[in-house]
Structure 1
Amino acid sequence: MEYVRLGKSGLKVSRISLGCWNFGSPTPRWGKPGKVTPEDSTRIIQAAVDKGINLLDTANRYTGGEAEEILGRAVRGMRDKVIIATKVHGEVGSGPNDKGQSRQHIMREVESSLKRLGTDYIDLYQAHGVDWETPLEESLRAYDDLIRQGKVRYIGCSNFPAWVLTKALWVSDVNKLASFVSVQPNYSLVNRTVEKELQPLCVDQGIGMILYSPIGGGILTGKYENAVPEGSRGYDEPGVAEKARKAQAAVAQLKAIANELGKTPAQISLNWIIHRPAVSSAIMGVSRLEQLEDNVGAVGWKLSDEHARQLDEAFAEW
């Protein structure tokens, strides 16, 4: 496994990280339904750690909080070997303060996450979106207090547009508050929007990018070539299937490079993305150990400049 600093922070994270969003109950109290049983989830988490993956990403909202509970149990006895990243923002109840990033909600939810995770600190606490109703200074002062209390080590954000992240960095700077060290955007060969504004900002300010959906919801594995497999992301989300249809020619080029190098399409697309500017880690979502094995094969080597250029051109419109 390869490790790099998370942005300009001193924290070192694995190039490939494990996402826990689909671990747990198919009928959660809130959030998206889980697809992987607690037993299989535990095996996947522990196998990932054995392979050197140290960044494990979850959120308070995933499968009604069960994803955090599963992660906490799975890493018991090896807490010092892993970087636990979780999030706050999404709706976790029906009350008026059961979502967002008010001081009230942040302070309450961090305690709930700590309890579910079975730990006394969170390595990376992330704002899971922009709260348009709460002043940034209020949220950042709450995060700063959590760091001072030792309950949180670093803070990051997810799904922040470049201008909001810029404003947040400025608020932290002028008020001498802890600032975001990372941002978590959707970035892959079939979703390159971040290259216009967010990525240049991260390069300039030393913000580490932790990517979700780095293989485009499965599009970049090539599994949508002939049909939409039942149970796949595209089966549940028609938008993914439509994007897969439009990307067929580009994916064919990806598969040709994979065949030439003796790699899988997923390994090629992951290798391309983890070596992009400002990228610290790419989160893989897996439901089977075989997928974990495949994705880890994206680390320890680098595409040639020529192959990277071919991919860049094939997916230029995305």
Structure 2
Amino acid sequence: MNYRNLGLSGLLVSEFGFGAGTFGGQGPIFSAWGQANLAEAQRMIDLCIDHGVNDFDTADAYSNGVSEQMLGKLLGLKRQDVIISSKVGIRLQDGINQGGYSRGYLIAAVDASLKRLATDYIDVLQLHQFDSMTSLEQLMSTLNDLVRSGKVRYIGASNFSGWQLMKAQSISQQQGYEKLSVHQVYYSLIGRDYEWELMPAQHDQHIGAVVWSPLGWGRLTGKFDREHAIPQQSRLHETAQFAPPVNQERLFAVLDVMNEIALETQRSIPQIALNWLKTRPTISSILIGARNEKQLIDNLAALEWSLTLEQLERLNRVSAVYPPYPYYPYWNGQFSEKNPTLVSSQFIHTN
């Protein structure tokens, strides 16, 4: 296992982290993600630790807190040897103030997570989404207080836009508050929007990226291609309302190249998707979630090998999309009418 810096925090996280969203299986969304029971979850945690995984990610919203409960219970004495990342911010109850990032709710949410996780500190606390109803000045002040209290050691965000991320960092810089060390983002071979704005912003601010859904919401599992349509009973249909849309022809073109490389390497489609992400700039850790031990073993096997430069270039070309204004570099001749979809920024080429 390789370990990478989490921004400028000084914290080293494993190249692959484990996403515990499949623990518990409660509710219409998270039951579609996975329904691992205690015995299955214990085997997966032990397998991860045996492979050097030290980063375990969860959230208070996952299965209404059951994911946090299971993770805390099953880590047990190993808790001191691992990093627990959790997220808050998604509404869990109907009360008028039971959501967002007001000072009272945020502190109460962290206390509740600590209780479920059976620990007295959260290594990395991340804001699950942006809250436009709470001032960032107050939010960053509250997060700073949580760090100073010892309940939280590092802070981060998830699913922020570039301006939201930068405004939060600027406030912390001006006020001497704790700054964001991590941003959890969606990034995959069929979802490269992260590269347009967030990647260069995080590079500039030394914010580490933790990637969620590296298999494109299940589209890059190897189960589907031109000849095998997504079945109606697939969990993709359960979660599709939350997934970013993907052009079918582009998806099949990417899968065509991935299948070619799978034959060349005798490796699985998920392993190819994970290997591509390992090479991308700003990435601190890639979260692998698994419904069962078999899937986890296959994903972890991506640690054992690497794609060639030629294979990476083929994947880069077939998965690239023309970025929107103002991100396309129309002034430097990088794009042309004959070759409009190379890469989305010079930053990706030069790092």
Q: Is TM more than 0.5 here?
A: yes
Greater shift in the superposed pair: 215-224 or 181-190:
215-224
Equivalence for 1:104 = 104
Preserved CA contact (<8 Å) 1:224 1:241: no
Q: Classify the secondary structure of the residue corresponding to 2:303.
A: coil
Equivalence for 2:69 = 69
Please, which of 294, 319, 322 is the counterpart of residue 290 of structure 1?
294
Q: Structure 2: which amino acid aligns with 1:156?
A: G
Q: Cα deviations across residues 274-311 of structure 1 (Å, max 9, x unaligned)? A: 22000011111101111111111112443222111110
TM-score under structure 2 length normalisation: 0.86
Q: Cα deviations across residues 175-234 of structure 1 (Å, max 9, x unaligned)? A: 000011010111000000011000011111111000001111221222112032465332
Greater shift in the superposed pair: 143-152 or 19-28:
19-28
Counterpart Cα distance in 2 of 1:289 and 1:4: 25
Equivalence for 1:232 = 234
TM-score under structure 1 length normalisation: 0.94
Shift of 1:27: 4.0
Please, which of 261, 265, 268 is the counterpart of residue 272 of structure 2?
268
Larger radius of gyration: 2
Equivalence for 1:223 = 223
Greater shift in the superposed pair: 216-225 or 156-165:
216-225
Shift of 1:235: 3.4
Q: Structure 1: which amino acid aligns with 2:234?
A: S
Equivalence for 1:243 = 246
Equivalence for 2:343 = none
Q: Classify the secondary structure of the residue corresponding to 2:53.
A: coil
Preserved CA contact (<8 Å) 1:214 1:270: yes
Q: Which runs of 5+ in 2 are unaligned?
A: 323-351
Equivalence for 1:57 = 57
Preserved CA contact (<8 Å) 2:87 2:126: yes
Are 1:91 and 2:95 an aligned pair? no
Counterpart Cα distance in 1 of 2:247 and 2:197: 25
Preserved CA contact (<8 Å) 2:222 2:268: no
Please, which of 242, 254, 261 is the counterpart of residue 257 of structure 1?
261
Percent identical: 39
Greater shift in the superposed pair: 241-250 or 125-134:
241-250
Counterpart Cα distance in 1 of 2:320 and 2:27: 39
Preserved CA contact (<8 Å) 1:219 1:244: no
Q: Classify the secondary structure of the residue corresponding to 1:7.
A: coil
Counterpart Cα distance in 2 of 1:74 and 1:203: 35
The count of residues paired between Structure 1 and Structure 2 equals 316
Q: Classify the secondary structure of the residue corresponding to 2:299.
A: helix
Q: Cα deviations across residues 75-107 of structure 1 (Å, max 9, x unaligned)? A: 001011110000110101111221111111111
- Cα root mean square deviation, aligned: 1.9
Counterpart Cα distance in 2 of 1:267 and 1:155: 30
Map of 1:1-318 to 2, 5 A cutoff? Answer: 1-27=1-27, 32-33=30-31, 35-225=35-225, 226-229=228-231, 232-238=234-240, 243=246, 245-246=248-249, 247-317=251-321
Shift of 1:245: 3.7
Counterpart Cα distance in 2 of 1:223 and 1:312: 22
Q: Structure 2: which amino acid aligns with 1:15?
A: E
Q: Structure 1: which amino acid aligns with 2:107?
A: M
Preserved CA contact (<8 Å) 1:86 1:122: yes
Preserved CA contact (<8 Å) 2:190 2:254: no
Counterpart Cα distance in 2 of 1:102 and 1:32: 26
Preserved CA contact (<8 Å) 1:44 1:288: yes
Counterpart Cα distance in 2 of 1:113 and 1:14: 23
Equivalence for 2:340 = none
CA gap 1:231/1:3 in 2 versus in 1, 3 angstroms? farther
CA gap 1:233/1:243 in 2 versus in 1, 3 angstroms? farther
Q: Structure 1: which amino acid aligns with 2:246?
A: K
Q: Structure 2: which amino acid aligns with 1:41?
A: A
Q: Structure 2: which amino acid aligns with 1:23?
A: F
Preserved CA contact (<8 Å) 2:26 2:64: no
Counterpart Cα distance in 1 of 2:3 and 2:17: 11
Preserved CA contact (<8 Å) 1:235 1:241: no
Q: Classify the secondary structure of the residue corresponding to 1:287.
A: coil
